[in-house]
């Protein structure tokens, strides 16, 4: 636990919970007055989501603001919470609270990705069995045929993954551009599907996740979800697996030991601030984790 890079350092946790300053927290930890999940805490330990922290015999219930944001990811940014990874999405956005991406987009892809600080919401949205829609606009290297559209729509066997993709909606937009709506998220799925038919993907952009649209959100910026979006999202995930927890509407809290509220920040677009200049193009660009939601 001491070496886990995620979570919150115990002295910071105590300070943010209003118990005492970080310096005093260090003294209380050394004195053995802090317990994490039944074990005496040590300096440098981190508190992970779901853990129970006690100070002098009394449990600390830290109130945490719920975060769920929409981000327009540039090409080249890596969709991982691992800050050791070069050009990772967390450093690029530089959000003031701990967040992590819900799924992924390939490093070569761009467009909409959601980030949150809540694990249950993450699981409800990400699980392939929940069959939530994700919509993409794809440009390929040669003219699209009727056979290509039909083949992509009916499901494609992928040798590398030894599986056949689910049937999906595919619509031709122009000679070399099409729209595709998936309800699963295999690794590099769209690129692999296109390759089966002899096509190479030149550009891939995600424009929708469930009821959340990319719209005119500027590339490299993020925004909070609106109350209307969160209300509709709750309806869509109400039958999803992973428990009954809903996304809070503004002003409401979860009745859990970690109380979570909807963000009070304005829902206008915000520029992601990088801690250092991109190492590729003008704005940096994103890659792949092995969870279930990207292309």
Catalytic residues: 106
CA gap 195, 185 in Å, rounded: 17
Sign of CA dihedral 185, 89, 213, 258: positive
Residue 63, CB half-sphere, CA atoms under 13 Å: how many?
A: 8
3-state secondary structure of 67: coil
Please give the full DSSP string across 205-261, using - where no structure is assigned: EEEEETTEE-TTPPTTEEEEPPHHHHHHHHHHHTT-SS-S--PPPTT-B--SSS-EE
CA dihedral 249, 259, 217, 199 (to 10 degrees): -110
Residue 222, CA distances (Å) to 109, 171, 265, 272, 281 in order: 17, 28, 12, 7, 19
How many Å apart are CA 167 and CA 35, to the nearest integer? 51
Q: 286 - beta bridge partners? A: 77
**Interatomic CA distance for residues 291 and 103, integer angstroms:** 6
């Amino acid at each position: 636990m001491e070496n886990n890079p995620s979570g919150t350092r115990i002295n910071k946790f105590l300070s943010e919970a209003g118990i005492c300053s970080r310096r005093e927290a260090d003294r209380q930890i050394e004195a053995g007055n802090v317990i994490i999940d039944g074990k005496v805490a040590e300096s440098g330990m981190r508190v992970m989501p779901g853990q129970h922290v006690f100070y002098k015999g009394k449990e600390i219930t830290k109130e945490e603001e719920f975060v769920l944001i929409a981000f327009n990811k540039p090409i080249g940014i890596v969709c991982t919470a691992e800050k050791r990874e070069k050009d990772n999405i967390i450093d690029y956005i530089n959000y003031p609270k701990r967040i992590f991406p819900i799924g992924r987009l390939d490093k070569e892809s761009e467009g909409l990705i959601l980030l949150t600080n809540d694990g249950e919401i993450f699981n409800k949205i990400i699980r392939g069995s929940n069959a939530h829609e994700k919509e993409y606009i794809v440009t390929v290297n040669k003219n699209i045929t009727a056979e290509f559209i039909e083949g992509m729509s009916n499901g494609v066997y992928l040798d590398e993954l030894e599986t056949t993709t689910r049937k999906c909606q595919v619509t031709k937009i122009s000679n070399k551009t099409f729209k595709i709506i998936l309800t699963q998220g295999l690794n590099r799925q769209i690129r692999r599907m296109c390759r089966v038919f002899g096509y190479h993907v030149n550009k891939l952009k995600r424009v929708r996740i469930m009821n959340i649209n990319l719209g005119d959100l500027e590339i490299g910026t993020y925004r909070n979800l609106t109350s209307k979006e969160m209300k509709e999202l709750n309806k869509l995930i109400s039958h999803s697996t992973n428990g009954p927890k809903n996304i809070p509407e503004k002003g409401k809290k979860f009745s859990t030991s970690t109380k979570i509220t909807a963000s009070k920040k304005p829902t206008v677009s915000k520029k992601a601030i990088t801690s250092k200049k991109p190492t590729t193009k003008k704005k940096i660009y994103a890659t792949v984790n092995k969870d279930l939601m990207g292309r």
